[in-house]
Amino acid sequence: MEFKVPTMAQMIADGETPEILFWVGCAGSFDERAQKITKDIAKILHHVGLKFAILGTEESCTGDPAKRAGNEFLFQMQAMANIELLNAYDIKKIVTGCPHCFNTIKNEYPELGGNYEVIHHTQLIQGLIDEGKLKASNGEFFKGKKITYHDPCYLGRANGVYEAPREILQQLDADLVEMKRCKTNGLCCGAGGAQMFKEPEKGDKDINIERVEEALSLSPNIIAAGCPFCMTMLSDGVKHFEKENEVQVLDLAEITAKANGLS
């Protein structure tokens, strides 16, 4: 990275407090494809001058896949350790790069003692656009391009965030086309509920193939996503149909970074 991304530990040592904590998530930290999204989120935060920090090596899995696989013990172990850390740093506001982390911290941590204002990065970006801090100066890159947006279950149905991602896209001069199964009727990419970490049960086809088929039927230039798991599933699906040269799968953070000349 061309600028330094501070950790909470460093900030505290320097006697500073961040305006917002960037919860990167495991996919965003380790998955090569998702790391690009993470970097773009960091670039956006840096670009608008928001004072932010990450937890770095102190961050640990929220426990989402463990909980949804049925391991409540492991989930609560993770949750309580994370809450202890977040509370020790007196964190007030968190932005996550992953709808699963977003959902877990926002909805499942409060009962266990973790109360924070939690937003997903698409909500942060939409807010920055509304405040005029992100101008899409490089927006002509997307002019006339056909973009379809895939609703991540844990952003959409799980938390009712349908508009922020779409408003980000509407700001570009792109042609936003909706799949038939969108918003409340959105079709899952197939990765939620710990499916990301296992082979699917046998059936007629994989869920991500079904989803990408639907997206490709609109002949888009770009399939927009807002979740690192969806990113993996959709990218795999596009490769399955050998369309990776024609159709890009991009996170809304990447689209925003590109539109603002940050990448």
Partner 1 sequence: MQIRCPMILQFLFLVLLIAAAGLFAKNISKIRRNILLGRDLDLSDQKGLRWKNLLTIAMGQSKMATKPIPFLMHLCLYVGFVIINMELIEIVIDGLAGTHRVFAPMMGSLYNFLIASFEWLAFLVLFACVVFISRRNLIKIKRFNGTEMTKWPKSDANYILVIEILLMSAFLTMNAADAKLQFLNVEHYIKAGSFPVSAFLQNILPNDAASLIAIERTCWWFHIIGIFAFLNYVPYSKHLHILFAFPASYYGSLNAKGKINNMQSVSNEVKAMLDPSFVPVQTESPGRFGAKDATDLNWKNLLDSYACTECGRCTAMCPANQTGKLLSPRKIMMDTRDRITEIGKNVDLHGKDYNDNKTLLDHHITREELWACTTCNACTEACPINLDPLSIIIELRRYLVMEESAATASLNTMQSNIETNGTPWKFANSERANWTN
CB-based burial, 95-120: b 16+ in 10 Å, e otherwise: bbbbbbbbbbbbebbeeeebebebbb
Residue 31's alpha-carbon distances to 26, 108, 114, in angstroms, are 8, 25, 27
- Rounded to whole angstroms, the Cα distance separating 58 from 50 reads 21
Closest separation between CB of residue 39 and partner 1, Å? Answer: 6
Closest separation between CB of residue 168 and partner 1, Å? Answer: 21
Complex with partner 1: residue 139 or 228, whichever CB lies closer: 228
| C-alpha 104: how far from chain center | 13
Complex with partner 1: residue 60 or 221, whichever CB lies closer: 60
Closest separation between CB of residue 249 and partner 1, Å? Answer: 18
Closest separation between CB of residue 201 and partner 1, Å? Answer: 4
Closest separation between CB of residue 92 and partner 1, Å? Answer: 20
Closest separation between CB of residue 215 and partner 1, Å? Answer: 14
Complex with partner 1: residue 11 or 42, whichever CB lies closer: 42
Complex with partner 1: residue 83 or 174, whichever CB lies closer: 83
Complex with partner 1: residue 70 or 261, whichever CB lies closer: 70
Which two tokens mark 87? 């509370």
Complex with partner 1: residue 184 or 219, whichever CB lies closer: 184
- On whether the CB atoms of residues 220 and 148 are closer than 8 A, the answer is yes
- Rounded to whole angstroms, the Cα distance separating 239 from 219 reads 15
- On whether the CB atoms of residues 256 and 125 are closer than 8 A, the answer is yes
